Amino acid sequence: MIKIKRRRQPVIYLDIRETDPRRNLALEEHLFRTVGQTDDCFLLWQNRSSVIVGRHQNTLAETNGAFLREHGIPAVRRLSGGGAVYHDLGNLNFTFITARERMEAMRFELFCTPVVETLRELGVDAQLSGRNDLSVDGRKFSGNSQYTSGGRLLHHGTILFAADLETMTAALTPPYEKLQSKGTPSVRGRVVNLSEALGGRVSLEEFRRLLANRALRGRTCSRFSLTADDWAAVDKLAREKYGSWEWNYGDSPPCSFSVKAYWNGCGTVEARVLLREGRIETVKFYGDFFGEESPAALEDALCGQKPEPAALEHVWNSIPVTRYLHGVRREDFVRLFDGARESA
């Protein structure tokens, strides 16, 4: 009896050289929603320095806003769940898009196998750890997440190859003394760059080539090219969704935090804040500061504002803040939600 092998599905392979995180996430979504229901896709891509936030996370809770603004690092929300991750050009990202009927959702190991096998061929014993991480000797180098909709499944992962781990730590560390969010918190365990695990024997470009070869082994690549209309749709999505405050911050779950600062000439000021949809819903001031009037009017003025310097600048210009926080300087007040402290 002849055993008939089931033919493996052809795959569209895109080696993307764009590095704008908003454009890359828009491209990923565009392909997910428009490529034929029977087509599989495999993408390799990189983002320049950015924080990519999980679908159900509170962006303010997961990032150091002051650090991101100072260094021009955008925070961009993705479609899939899981924790916030840091991307830069020392990272390599991969995406699989397939029909959900061919793959069981949340079976992360099915999509991580090419990465594991590529590394094992290079003499590195990589393992799937926890729900969705890849590690070497107990140190994480890859986080993975998934999104399903309309019979399609998207799996993507990030690989730390030669990332700036100091910047990653600073970008993913919220400055607030205390913050409680109903969103999903990121897990920040021990991490490692694969360049270290590989002893510098393989460059990122070489690893990119090897991973592509392993992921596509035994598959037929379909001819595919993005049209001008495709790119126009991608740019529109990047601009209107992935470049918008409403998606990246406003779509966050409710979040409460307190931030305390000592300002020379004013005293200790503590603000306890409840955010909803990324804006201040309530705020109460406590501390040893003096004021000509109760800070209630200041608290009312802050409600509905974003917890960002530009919004606090607007409040400063709208009401006499020093009447409620005597001796406060404008440059201190506008940085309140950065968690900045000054000594006497």
Tens of each residue's pLDDT in the chain, 344 residues: 333 333 467 899 999 999 999 999 999 999 999 987 778 999 999 999 999 999 988 888 788 888 999 999 999 999 998 889 999 999 999 999 998 766 665 678 889 999 999 999 999 999 998 888 999 999 999 999 999 888 899 999 999 999 999 999 999 976 554 445 556 566 445 899 999 999 999 999 999 999 999 999 998 888 888 999 999 999 999 999 999 998 998 888 887 888 888 898 898 888 999 988 889 999 999 888 888 888 999 999 999 999 989 999 999 999 999 999 999 999 999 989 875 332 22
Q: Which residue has the tokens 């493996």?
A: 8
CATH of domain 11-250: 3.30.930.10
Residue 40's contacts (CB-CB under 8 Å, 6 or more residues apart) are 9, 10, 11, 12, 96, 97, 98, 99, 102
Residue 302's contacts (CB-CB under 8 Å, 6 or more residues apart) are 280, 283, 312, 315
Strand partners, 43: 14, 95
Q: How far is it, in rounded angstroms, from Cα 328 to Cα 91?
A: 43
The residue extents of the domains of the chain are 11-250, 255-338
Q: What is the pTM of this model?
A: 0.80
Same fold, 11-250 and 255-338: no
- Between 108-121 and 204-215, two packed helices, what is the crossing angle to 10 degrees? 120
Q: How far is CA 139 from CA 125, 142, 190, 194, 260, in A?
A: 12, 9, 5, 10, 34
Q: How far apart are the first and last CA of the chain?
A: 87
Q: How far is it, in rounded angstroms, from Cα 162 to Cα 76?
A: 21
Domain 255-338: state its class. alpha beta
Torsion of CA 73, 75, 81, 83, to 10 degrees: 50
Q: How far is it, in rounded angstroms, from Cα 277 to Cα 261?
A: 25
Q: How far is it, in rounded angstroms, from Cα 55 to Cα 247?
A: 10
The CB-side HSE value for 268 (13 A sphere, CA atoms) comes to 7
